Structure formats: C-alpha cells, structure tokens
Amino acid sequence: MADKFDLVIIGGGNAGYIPAIRASQLGMKVALIEKREGGHLGGTCLNVGCIPTKALLQTAHLLHDAKNGEDFGVKVGEVEFDYPQAAKRREQVVNQLRKGVQGLMKKNKVTVYNGVGSFVEPKKIKVETSDGEEELETEHVLISTGSAVSTLPGLDFDGEKVISSDNIVTNDESYPGSVIVLGSGAVGVEFASMYHDFGTEVTIVELLDRIVPLEDPEISEALKKEFEDRGIRVLTSTKADPESLEKTDDGVKITVAGAGSGEQEETEGEGGSYGGEDAPTGEASEADGETLEAEAILVAVGRRTVTEDLNLDVTNVELDDRGIIQVDEYGRTAEDGVYAAGDVIGGYWLAHAAGHEGIIAVEHMAGENPMPMDQNLVPRVTFCRPEVASFGLTKAQAEEEGYEVKESKFPFRAIGKALIEGEPNGFFKIVADAETDLILGMHAIGPKVTDLITEGVFAKLVEGTPQELGMTIHPHPSLSEIVGESAMAVEGHPIHF
C-alpha cells in the first residue's frame, strides 16, 4: 500500500525544506524527497551556493583586513593564507547547518526520502532510492527542484581548468593563481572579489556594457571602479569565443571580441541575481581580438532549471521555452493541487525568495490567506567587496512604468560609522513615487548594505514613506544612519550632506 500524505515536496532546497516546516505547523502530513548524494538537505544554497561561498568570502574579507590593518594601528607582520584551512572551515559551517536542517525535519515530523522523485499521476509520486522504489499518495505536491550550473557550448566543465561555482566550493586543496571570470552577475563578481583578495590575478569578461547588469547603472559603474582600483581587470561589452578555448599545460587561453560582433550564445538560465543574463548592447570592447590566458576560466553565465527527472508529461504542469515552470502568484501550476516554488519558477533566483514562495504555496494549499508573491519586495544581494543590495524599481524602470519619480543618493563618506570602519565608498539611493510618496525601490553599494536593505523592504511592505523612514531614529554611530539620511534626502533635507 502506498504511503499517504497531505503534501509531497520534491526537492529539499530552500523552496522545499522551509515550506515543509510551515506545512507541518499548519497540521499537514508532509513528505520531502531529496536526491542529493548523502541525502543532504538545503539544496544549492546550503551545499554549493550561499553558505559555502559566503564562508569563503568571510576568509577573503579577513585576509584583506589582516593585510590592511596598519592604518588602524594593527600590525600583524607577514600575513599567510592557508587555503585548505579556509576550505575546512567552509565545510564545518556547511555541515553544522546541514545537521540543523535535519534536526528541524525531525522536530516537525517531516518524512524525508533520499531519492529521485517523479510523477506517476498528478497525485501519486514515485521515489527511487538506493533500496528500490516506493509510491506516495498525496493531496498536494510542491515542486521545488531548483536549478543547476549551466555553461556555453564548447566550455564543458572539467573541474580544473574550466570551472563552475560548484567546483570552487567543493575544492579543498587549492585555488588558481590567475582566473578569467566569464559573466558578472552575482556569482561572477563574488568569486572575482574573493579570488582577488586571495591574491589571484582576475579578469572579468562581461557581454553587456556594465557589470552586475541587473542593478542600477550607477551601481555597476561604482563597482567597476572599485574593482579596477583594486587591480581586477574588467572587460565589458566583451564576448569570449568558446571555440577559441585552448587548454595548455599551465591553464587556458581564450580569445575575446567586442560583444556587438557575431552571434550571441545564450544560456538557459533566467531571472536576476544568481540566475542568468540579459541581451548585449553592441558597445565596443577595449580587448577586441585579445587572447586572454589564465590558470582557469570560471564560467558564471547563468543557471538552468532542473525538471528532467519529474516526468511532468503525466501532469498539466506547463514550462516555458527556458524550462521555467509557469505558476500564478500563489505558486499554483496548471495542474490542480500541484504547486511550484523557488528557482524552478524563475523570478529572482535567490534563497530567501525561494523559501518565501514555498511558504506562500503551502499556506495557500492549506486554505490560509497568504499575501501573494511580490517580486518588488525581494531584496537582491551580492556579497562582493563592496557589497551590493537593492529591491524594487530603479528610477528608469519606474519612469518606464509611468511613475513620476523622486530619487535621492546619499554617500557613505558622510556617515561617521563608515569612516570608522574604513569603508567610506559607496552610496544609498531611494526611489519614491512623487505623487503618493510610496517607496518604489532602493539601490545601494557599500559596507553591509546586504543587511541595511531590509529596513527599506519592511518600509515598502507596510507602505511606509521616505518621511517615515526619515523620522525613524537610527542609532549613532551606525551604518543604518544612511537609510534615514537617504530618506530625508528624498524630501530634499538630508542633515549630513
């Protein structure tokens, strides 16, 4: 007899294990299926994404601080970098969190299967484990099978010279002395920043005319300047020719050209942040015809959705031509009782968006009345140095949508705490509707902006105005003062600038 559940979730990443907990809190009997080796839950984010990358970036920041402590009166002599130890710590953090997620499943009485999940019928799911097959009957299904690295034809990953983000965060031994980073979305710039702090020679190759191309253009410009000042080479409007890739004894060679020339290669990924890219603009490249050489090439051009094992043909679930599962604002697919959440439904390919979408889906299937998903409330975060964060619309996007816009820009150099921390570069922007005063978006580059942005998201959620943010008393000295100052600047009366 098949086991019976109220909900079967396929995929144990953020869009899977988080809603599993919420569904259990709502009284549902829940099964969670995860195919990853070792049965590790947490998906891309915990195993090969957010967590291991940020653990390595923390080492990179510390290394940078240790080398630059003299200004603060801290002399540490010659600073040594022990990569295997950094990798060991990365794994310790990942393992501790894996155990935590496992414990949460137990606490919430979620039945976890380690195997591949697929549809037999819309309400019958097969799990293939190493011990055989099992069928689960269910009222509801949540598909949260996420995404995987993708590459360009001709740039197959070998894990050594042609590498992916997965390869970097599972390498315990070494890192390249020089690297070409193909693509400058969140993944590309985070690894570029990290490697440069490790002492690696870094060249970024970006097809579009600016790096972090989904961010406000002034942020792209500011980040490019910061990177170039640090010694990272940044080639925008530049296309690498995969056919020219040559593996040598020492690494790789690849020829680049202006992005305007020839046909464009497209990746399968979409969405913002840790997802895919946009169309090129055809601007000239300073490196047209140059052959770049490095020990490795990191291909960070996007990701693809994972749906191949699901046997979706027996359902009415619809995919678009990029493999994105089509859902409404509650995560409902075209098949009755079948929902989807996370990277597999497109939108912003971010862990917190994935978890939130999953919660909305299970609350909706449980008959609650959740607020529908609003992509404008998703904070987009990039943890390079300096950090980048934003949500909602840029000024240009808001104007395109017909808003009459007011915008502020407030610099970190006017914030005491930024000077104290030795990070005076960067700025905070607030975009608001001139007619209603409602906040439309925020865009920031500088110290800890990935934390600071949340205050703005909350203000937008509760339909707050810049005046109210400006009236909020921020502790002094703190970096958060920049939120209040930028809010007052929208009204034309910042205090410290």
By annotation, the residues acting in catalysis are 476
- Asked if 20 interacts with ligand FAD (CB under 6 A), we say no
**Per-residue contact string for residues 453-482; x = within reach of ligand FAD by CB under 6 A:** ------------------------------
**Per-residue contact string for residues 219-258; x = within reach of ligand FAD by CB under 6 A:** ----------------------------------------
Q: 387-392 and 380-382: which strand pairing?
A: antiparallel
- Asked if 151 interacts with ligand FAD (CB under 6 A), we say no
**Which among 368, 318, 367 is positioned nearest to 340, based on CA atoms?**
318
Output the smallest distance, CB 146 to ligand FAD, in A: 2
Output the smallest distance, CB 495 to ligand FAD, in A: 33
Residue carrying the six token digits 């599993």: 20
List of residues 6+ apart from 269 with CB closer than 8 A: 147, 150, 275, 276, 277, 301, 302, 303, 304, 322, 349
- Asked if 117 interacts with ligand FAD (CB under 6 A), we say yes
* Interactions with ligand FAD, residue window 158-187 (CB under 6 A): 165, 187
- Asked if 124 interacts with ligand FAD (CB under 6 A), we say no
- Asked if 268 interacts with ligand FAD (CB under 6 A), we say no
* Interactions with ligand FAD, residue window 53-92 (CB under 6 A): 53-54
Residue selected from 24, 138, 145, 285 as contacting ligand FAD according to rule CB under 6 A: 145
CA distances from 245 to 168, 240, 262 (A): 20, 9, 17
- Asked if 139 interacts with ligand FAD (CB under 6 A), we say no
CA distance 273 to 415: 28
- Judged by CB, which is closer to ligand FAD: 12, or 447? 12
CA distance 237 to 262: 13
List of residues 6+ apart from 154 with CB closer than 8 A: 242, 243, 245
- Judged by CB, which is closer to ligand FAD: 190, or 481? 190
Binding range to ligand FAD, per CB under 6 A, among 316-324, 329-337, 347-355, 392-400: 347-355
Q: How many CA atoms lie within 13 A of 99 on its CB side?
A: 5
- Asked if 194 interacts with ligand FAD (CB under 6 A), we say no
Return the HEC string of 61-117: HHHHHHHCCHHHCCCCCCCCCCHHHHHHHHHHHHHHHHHHHHHHHHHCCCEEEECEE
- Asked if 33 interacts with ligand FAD (CB under 6 A), we say yes
- Judged by CB, which is closer to ligand FAD: 13, or 470? 13
CA distance 187 to 457: 23
- Asked if 280 interacts with ligand FAD (CB under 6 A), we say no
List of residues 6+ apart from 103 with CB closer than 8 A: none
Beta bridge partners of 234: 204
Tokens found for residue 261: 């020339």
* DSSP track, 162-186: EE-HHHHHT--S---SEEEEE--SH
- Judged by CB, which is closer to ligand FAD: 379, or 484? 379
Q: Residue 6: helix, strand or coil by DSSP?
A: strand
**What is the maximum span of the chain, computed from C-alpha positions, in angstroms?**
71
Apex 142 CA angle, 140 and 146, nearest 5: 170
- Asked if 414 interacts with ligand FAD (CB under 6 A), we say no
Residue selected from 101, 235, 310, 469 as contacting ligand FAD according to rule CB under 6 A: 310
CA distance 140 to 45: 25
# residues contacting ligand FAD (CB under 6 A): 41
Residue selected from 10, 232, 296, 373 as contacting ligand FAD according to rule CB under 6 A: 10
Binding range to ligand FAD, per CB under 6 A, among 245-253, 277-285, 346-354, 399-407: 346-354
- Judged by CB, which is closer to ligand FAD: 381, or 440? 381
Binding range to ligand FAD, per CB under 6 A, among 304-312, 315-323, 387-395, 399-407: 304-312
Judged by the rule CB under 6 A, the positions of this chain that interact with ligand FAD are 10-16, 33-36, 43-45, 49-50, 53-54, 116-118, 144-147, 165, 187, 274, 306, 309-310, 342-344, 349-352, 354, 381, 383
